[in-house]
Chains A and B, each alone.
Chain A
């Protein structure tokens, strides 16, 4: 199972990339597990970032939101537009 990860704002800047493609082990089936996997792979900021937000296929998501093959999963800080 493969997903497209996107990072925005301070996360994009800190990681030095706008995103990455990731092959997921079968055990990783929701946002919370995916976040933990990325942290284990060295994306420490995903663990420490304050009020981290996540969207799956461009809809706001929670830790228990399912992640499936081909999904677009974005991580970003609280929004500050307007």
Chain B
């Protein structure tokens, strides 16, 4: 009978197999890995979204004073027992892109830790974001954001977008909640979970992702069902963000029609209508619009006269160059919409005397720090995120109702 019963020792150095393909390599790696909690101390919980949860953290190394935002992806399925279901496309994209991209105006990735079937992305912490700044001005200060801040934020945002586009990357989810601002006034574009490389795609962009960009910031070509689209969609979103910084509310605040099944994408009628109300009908400036899949549906919308200049004045805008840049960003025709590089060289910026790389330079207003809660600081649990308002920004939280 000797040797019949496999000893524990023998099992621990078993040959690799179909059910244990990593064999002893797995044990070796598990034994050498540094845990996220060995390196970081969780200071509090920031937010949850569709992707998972974000925590504020500090290094356990007392010589390092930096603060971090650790994003923990939730597993593909809402399951109590975590398993390897395959890493989501979104997490793959964000890991891959964050590892390659480095720019002053992008959120800096410190490291990624893969541990216990979870992905932890460690980013530099940013104290503010544009949604929070807009809301603070809107509800607490009850006054517009100062022009110096708007100009600096817009320039830095365009600078980051320009870098992305130069590197053949589209962001595809630019919105105030995804644009961070550090306490030093530096803009950091975050959340690359929908971003992708657009150099020579193997299949039409629409095939891979049926819906991109949060609805209020979604470009008209996307609303009209474009199968192919260009980085110009990001510039539309920048235009919408710029408008929101001016008026403190989304310029095109349409109501989203929820997708009832995953196959067909509904025409977002109300969103398109909101755009029409400000910009008029696109037919004259954009003849190719007739070729888009949703053109017939668009034709049934009520038409208006273009009135962006009226909107700009009503929002309190006085700078002629600022208006021209807004109009160039919100061009219907994506081929005529201004590029990020041209926008950076727009006279709105080049003629300005007080353009600063620190959005808060010379400003009196002090924005409050990000709200951190302590009711959920256990980063290791796989508990599904608490009910959130459905917002999916990087530090998403419920958007206050106007």
Say whether A and B bind each other.
Answer: no
Which positions in B face A, CB cutoff 8 Å? none
